[in-house]
């Protein structure tokens, strides 16, 4: 999933694009680099961010969603506002990415009525206050239970399918983020595909000598390859070309490993059959 922020203030790429035409061109580039979805967002969720008025968010995202969808791009809409999700889906978005985890009943009904799947993300608090002393007794179990409950409720209300996301950096300290990433295999074992959004986030700066957001690609790749190996289905990233290359190489090596495992199994089975014949 390629990140396309049409905001002035996103934490790593705010203000990069000067208007809809430039945003559409950037989205097309992500698509041609191998993104499965281009995730269009018009409101930053960085820690401390103020909300954006619905009218302003609509004006930012709608021309971009419509322009990309008209060119055959699979667009997801990154919003917490039901009205924005609804208008974006009408303009051609085929996935709703809600960092509030479909908390609003009206968000669930937008997805259900339009028949579009949704991403349910875990967040403690709101972007404004989420990093004020987040505390968990068992972060993995708590996030797991939250995602299961929200997924159950969404499916009951008619949302056709959901992806789940532990919400890296949303109301979590470094140790919480690490515990959640370390539990990728567990979190992806419950049926709903797992999305990981760790791209360029501050945990990488914390782990790697305070590198700034634009210096965090190597750490992002390390986290995402780790997650992909352990079952993450979708990686939300700013650097699509680099991830496409890394995943192609990882996939080829993993396939070779599986091929060797099959050969070994056949060899053992053949030897057993021989000794019994
Ligand atoms: N992270 C961000 C935004 N949306 N959606 C999901 N499902 N998971 C995430 O981890 C996630 C997300 C924050 O990153 P970014 O869009 O780059 O920054 P900003 O919120 O400042 O625009």
Residue nearest to atom 10 of ligand 1 (CA): 197
Residue 262 has pLDDT above 60, yes or no: yes
Q: With contact defined as beta carbons under 8 Å apart, do 53 and 46 qualify? A: no
Least confident of 56-65, 87-96, 116-125, 257-266: 257-266
Residues 170-194: tens digit of each pLDDT: 999 999 999 999 999 999 999 999 9
Residue 113, pLDDT score: 98
Does residue 220's CB lie within 6 angstroms of at least one atom of ligand 1?
A: no
Gap between the Cα atoms of 20 and 134, Å rounded: 37
Predicted TM-score of the model (pTM): 0.94
Does residue 224's CB lie within 6 angstroms of at least one atom of ligand 1?
A: no
- Taking residues 234-250, what's their average pLDDT? 98
Question: What is the three-class DSSP state of 5?
Answer: strand
- Taking residues 237-249, what's their average pLDDT? 98
Residue 277, pLDDT score: 53
Concatenating the DSSP letter of every residue in 162-229 gives: EEEE--TTSS--HHHHHHHHHTHHHHTTSSSPBEE--TT-HHHHHHTTS--GGG-HHHHHHHHHHHHH
Q: Report the separation in Å between the CA atom of 45 and the middle of ligand 1, taken as the mean of its atom positions.
A: 6
Does residue 165's CB lie within 6 angstroms of at least one atom of ligand 1?
A: yes
Residue 130 has pLDDT above 80, yes or no: no
- Taking residues 26-49, what's their average pLDDT? 95
Residue 47, pLDDT score: 84
pLDDT grade, residue 121 (50/70/90)? very high
pLDDT grade, residue 163 (50/70/90)? very high
DSSP bridge pairs for 163? 119
Run of H or E residues at 97: strand 95-98
81 is catalytic: no
Residues 190-223: tens digit of each pLDDT: 999 999 999 999 999 999 987 899 999 999 999 9
pLDDT grade, residue 276 (50/70/90)? low
Residue 109, token pair as written in the block: 């009904």
Distance of CA 124 to the CA centre of its chain: 17
DSSP bridge pairs for 165? 121
Gap between the Cα atoms of 59 and 67, Å rounded: 13
Residue 139, token pair as written in the block: 């972060």
Does residue 172's CB lie within 6 angstroms of at least one atom of ligand 1?
A: no
**Mutational test site, ligand 1, from 7, 42, 78, max ligand atoms within 8 Å of CB:** 78
What does R_g of the chain's alpha carbons equal in angstroms? 20
Residue-averaged pLDDT of the chain: 95
Q: Which of 201, 206, 260, 267 is catalytic?
A: 201
Q: With contact defined as beta carbons under 8 Å apart, do 223 and 204 qualify? A: yes
Q: Which of 236, 260, 265, 267 is catalytic?
A: 236
Eight-state DSSP code of residue 53: -
Rounded to the nearest 10 degrees, the angle between the axes of helix 240-276 and helix 217-229 is: 30
Q: Higher confidence at residue 46 or residue 178?
A: 178
Residues 61-76: tens digit of each pLDDT: 999 999 999 999 999 9
201 is catalytic: yes
Cα atoms in the Cβ-side hemisphere of radius 13 Å centred on 117: 11
Q: Higher confidence at residue 124 or residue 176?
A: 176
Q: With contact defined as beta carbons under 8 Å apart, do 106 and 82 qualify? A: yes
């Amino acid at each position: 999933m390629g990140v396309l922020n049409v905001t002035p203030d996103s934490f790593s790429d705010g203000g990069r694009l000067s208007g809809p035409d430039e945003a559409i061109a950037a989205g097309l580039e992500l698509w041609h680099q191998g993104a499965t979805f281009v995730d269009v967002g018009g409101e930053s969720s960085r820690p401390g961010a103020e909300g954006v008025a619905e009218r302003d968010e609509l004006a930012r995202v709608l021309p971009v969603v419509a322009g990309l969808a008209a060119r055959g791009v699979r667009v997801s809409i990154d919003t917490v506002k039901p009205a924005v999700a609804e208008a974006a889906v009408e303009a051609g978005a085929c996935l709703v990415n809600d960092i509030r985890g479909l908390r609003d009943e009206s968000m669930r009904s937008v997805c259900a009525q339009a028949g579009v799947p949704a991403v349910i993300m875990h967040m403690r608090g709101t972007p404004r206050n989420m990093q004020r002393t987040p505390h968990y007794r068992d972060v993995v179990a708590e996030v797991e239970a939250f995602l299961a409950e929200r997924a159950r409720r969404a499916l009951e209300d008619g949302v056709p399918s959901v992806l789940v996301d532990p919400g890296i950096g949303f109301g979590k300290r470094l140790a919480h983020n690490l515990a959640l990433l370390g539990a990728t295999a567990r979190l992806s074992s419950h049926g709903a595909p797992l999305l990981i959004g760790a791209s360029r986030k501050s945990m990488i700066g914390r782990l790697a000598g305070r590198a700034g957001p634009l210096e965090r690609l190597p750490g992002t790749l390390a986290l995402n390859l780790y997650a992909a190996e352990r079952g993450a289905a979708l990686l939300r990233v700013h650097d699509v070309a680099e991830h496409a290359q890394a995943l192609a190489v990882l996939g080829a090596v993993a396939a070779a490993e599986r091929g060797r495992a099959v050969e070994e199994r056949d060899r053992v089975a053949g030897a057993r059959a021989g000794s019994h014949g």
